[in-house]
Amino acid sequence: MISVAERASITQDEGYGGVRVRSIKRLLAIVTALCLMPLSAAMASAGGDSFSGKVDVGGYGIYCELSAKDGPIVVFETGLTDAHDSELAPGVKANEPIGDEIAKVTGTFMYDRAGLGQSDARTIAPTLDAKVTELHNALERLEISSGIIFIAHSVGGYTARVYAAKYPGDVLGIVMLDCSSEQQLPIIEELVKPIMPAEVWDAYLQQFDCEGGYDAAKGWAAEVVAASTKDALRHVPLTVIYGTNHGMGDEMEATWAEWQEGYAGLSDDCKVIRLEGAGHYVQVDQPQVVIDEIKAMINKVRGGD
């Protein structure tokens, strides 16, 4: 979610007045979600079809890791502020252990969006269209522009949905992990801001800065709304996996569940899985469920049952 944030642990002594924030870093993950190496130089150090290094996507470099070119290629799209190897919990990095398991059955692609991790800063406006274009350019440079499955967490769901609308036919399936709703920012302001300490709310807003700022994020939501009019996911297999324990209060929790269940309306081939007790990082709380569902998606797009 563009989260009220799961990198934080909150305890409540007496209602909301007793909220104590143990770790701002931990909380920032519930309320939400660099030098350029030429592609040829990076490829020289890659073995076979695997690759790790920066790819020029138009004057700046995006750090990418490709395990193999066996299809379909599973593209991991992280949540807000998360690089491909960010630590999501003690000893648990983004896309682990899921990425390693999926790489045993098909090719995987992980990357850092511009301004995150080992990637360069973006030199153009931080629109969602720019993010989608830079991802597509990176995949094309690696000769992988179609036949992909998105594993999208949090705000990464925005990217997957707009990508499918901009490049119809390229996306074979999407597994959505507690993905952000285009409706959520004003609702979070209404329902969550009043129950949060002011310094935590300020930290929540600041986390958007490395990806363009809070106003830019509002623009991303508008881009998702516009992309949805193309109905690009109607015949794309979709699996939605979401948690029920985000620490945002009962009303916001119910609203979040409603949004997740509502994603079923995007596709005629949709499966929704509710993980009771899991938080925003469902892939950390219930990794085997996520692994199994990704493998099922791979099997489906390969023509299996």
CATH number, position 219: 3.40.50.1820
Mean pLDDT of 289-304: 96
Asked if the model's pLDDT at residue 209 lies above 60, the reply is yes
Q: What is the pLDDT of residue 48?
A: 53
Residue 273 falls inside a structural domain = yes
Cβ neighbours for 186, distance < 8 A, ≥ 6 positions apart:
none
What is the arithmetic mean of pLDDT over 161-172?
96
The pLDDT of 21-33, averaged and rounded, is 41
Residue at 121 is within a domain: yes
Residue pLDDT, tens place only, 113-135 = 999 999 999 989 999 999 999 99
Q: pLDDT value at position 61?
A: 96
The answer, yes or no, to whether residue 14 has pLDDT greater than 90, is no
8 or 118, greater pLDDT: 118
67-83: average pLDDT: 95
Q: How confident is the model at residue 297 (pLDDT cuts 50, 70, 90)?
A: very high
Q: List pLDDT tens digits, range 98-117.
A: 999 999 999 999 999 999 99
Position 257 pLDDT exceeds 80: yes
Q: What is the pLDDT of residue 28?
A: 44
Average pLDDT over residues 68-80: 95
Residue 182 has pLDDT above 50, yes or no: yes
Give the rounded percent of residues in the chain with a pLDDT score beyond 70. Answer: 84
Which range of residues forms the domain containing residue 47?
10-301
Six-digit token string for 160: 């997957």
What confidence score (pLDDT) does residue 145 get?
A: 72
pLDDT of residue 136: 96
Q: Are 216 and 157 in contact (CB under 8 A)?
A: no
- Confidence class of residue 18 from pLDDT cuts 50, 70 and 90? very low
**Is there a domain that residue 119 lies in?**
yes
**What mean pLDDT is predicted for residues 209-236?**
95
Of residues 212 and 15, the one with the higher pLDDT is 212
pLDDT of residue 180: 97
Q: Domain for residue 39, yes or no?
A: yes
- Flag whether 4 is in a domain: no
What is the model's pTM? 0.84
Residue ranges of E strands in the chain: 10-12, 19-21, 51-56, 61-66, 73-77, 87-89, 92-93, 108-111, 148-153, 171-177, 238-243, 270-275
User: Which pLDDT band holds residue 249 (cuts at 50, 70, 90)?
Assistant: confident
Residue type, 206: Q
- Position 38 in a domain: yes
Distance CA 184, CA 114 (A): 24
The mean pLDDT of 158-178, rounded to a whole number, is 97
* pLDDT > 90: percent of the chain: 75
Whether 2 is covered by a domain: the verdict is no
Residue 43 has pLDDT above 60, yes or no: no
pLDDT at 93: 87
Averaged pLDDT score across all residues of the chain: 86
Domain total of the chain: 1
* More confident position, 260 or 90: 260
At position 138, the amino acid (one-letter code) is A
> Cα separation of 164 and 96, whole Å?
25
Handedness of CA 102, 93, 122, 67 (dihedral sign): negative
pLDDT given for residue 281 in this prediction: 95
Q: Which residue has the higher pLDDT, 145 or 263?
A: 263
Say if 218 falls within a structural domain. Answer: yes
